[in-house]
Amino acid sequence: MKKILIVCGAAAALMLGACSGNSSNSGADKGFGDSLSMSLGQNQGLRLAVDYAGIPEDQKATLKKDDILRGFKQVIMTDTTQQGYLTGLSFGLQLAGQLYRYEQSGIQIDRAKVYDAYAKAFMSDSVSPQALQEAQQTFQTLAQQAQGKMMEYYQRQQEAAKAAKENSPEAKSNKEKGAAYIKDAIAKDPSIKTTPSGLAYKVVKEGQGETVGKTGSANVKYTGKLIDGTVFDSNDSGLELSPRGTVPGFGEGLAMMNKGSKYIFYIPGELAYGVEGAEQAGIGPNATLVFEVEAIDVTPGN
């Protein structure tokens, strides 16, 4: 505990030393100190401004700039001689983050009880190793239960977010258009086959030798298109790919290929990038993808 107090006090002194003042400073020293103070504040402020600009708008509603400045000012303007207060502030901020995560996941925390228990324990005249061990074991058990509740909460959040995306007009439209596209392609070309998963594929050219299999790899040339013909990715020089390193539909089709073969994959959205899509590549939620793939060389799986 003593070492922690010393470290926190030293850190506080380093951070807030300018607040205590020093009447023995010469004019030159003060000029340098003023320049350093302004540069330090500007540099840190600009870095935070850049980070702040990148957070979602809904988060900015709970992270108002005025509130951030108020908290920042409260800390740096605190008298550096108040070492105990600064130490308590540091510990409180660390614990506050944990309390916030609990509350965000639906666990009700009574902050007054946290403080009362903290104060009572801290003000103890002495702490036996047995008492400390019992307290740690009790908290560990409760913390594990809390972790489970937090995981359940975040899973529900993810499922709700996924359901919302699946029900979005764009996702529904893309899924319907993709299904119609594949159905029409099969009607026009009976050589297109489908797998139980829903992948449709056409063997343009049969190759030779063993297939890639689930654990093999292949050096391939390919062109990836959306159903409107837009090319979103291609490779003409050859790229080593494995079924496990691609979207499910591409991986399933690649596993069937052998050296020299050429296939066309018609991949439904749920076997491609799903409701998340791939915005950077221009792939919307539940978008159906069409790949023309040539296996230049194959390394069969074990």
Rounded CA separation 250/229 (Å): 18
Output the pLDDT for position 264. Answer: 98
pLDDT by residue (tens digit) across 197-225? Answer: 999 999 999 999 999 999 999 999 999 99
Among 12-16, 59-63, 245-249, 288-292, the least confident range: 12-16
- Is pLDDT above 60 for 19? no
- Assess contact for 203 and 263: CB atoms under 8 A: yes
* Average pLDDT of span 34-52: 90
pLDDT at 25: 52
pLDDT over threshold 70, residue 112: yes
pLDDT confidence of residue 14: 35
pLDDT value for 13: 38
Separation between Cα atoms, residue 120 and residue 112, nearest integer Å: 12
pLDDT score of 232 more than 70: yes
Pick the closest to residue 106 from 156, 159, 56 (CA basis).
156
Res. 34: pLDDT tops 90: no
Q: Is the per-residue pLDDT at 140 higher than 90?
A: yes
pLDDT above 90: percentage of residues in the chain: 68
CATH class for the domain made up of 169-299: alpha beta
What's the full length of the chain, in residues?
302
Per-residue model confidence (pLDDT) at position 296: 97
pTM over 0.85: no
pLDDT: which is higher, 300 or 20: 300
User: Is 28 a residue whose pLDDT tops 90?
Assistant: no
> How is the chain split into domains, by residue range?
2-104, 169-299
Question: If 0-12 CB within 10 Å is exposed, 13-18 middle and 19+ buried, where does residue 4 land?
Answer: exposed
The model's confidence at residue 297, banded by pLDDT at 50, 70 and 90, is: very high
Q: Is-contact 216 242, C-beta < 8 A?
A: yes
User: What single letter denotes the amino acid at residue 298?
Assistant: V
Q: What is the pLDDT of residue 129?
A: 93
What is the structure's pLDDT at 207? Answer: 96
Q: Which amino acid is at 26?
A: S
Average the pLDDT over each of 73-77, 168-172, 244-248 and give the range with the smallest value: 73-77
CA of 164: how far to CAs of 158, 159, 161, 237, in Å?
10, 9, 5, 40
For 78-92, the pLDDT digits (tens) are 887 888 988 898 899
**Cβ(187)–Cβ(194) below 8 Å:** no
Quote the CA–CA distance of 20 and 82 in Å, as a whole number.
Answer: 11
Higher pLDDT, 11 or 101: 101
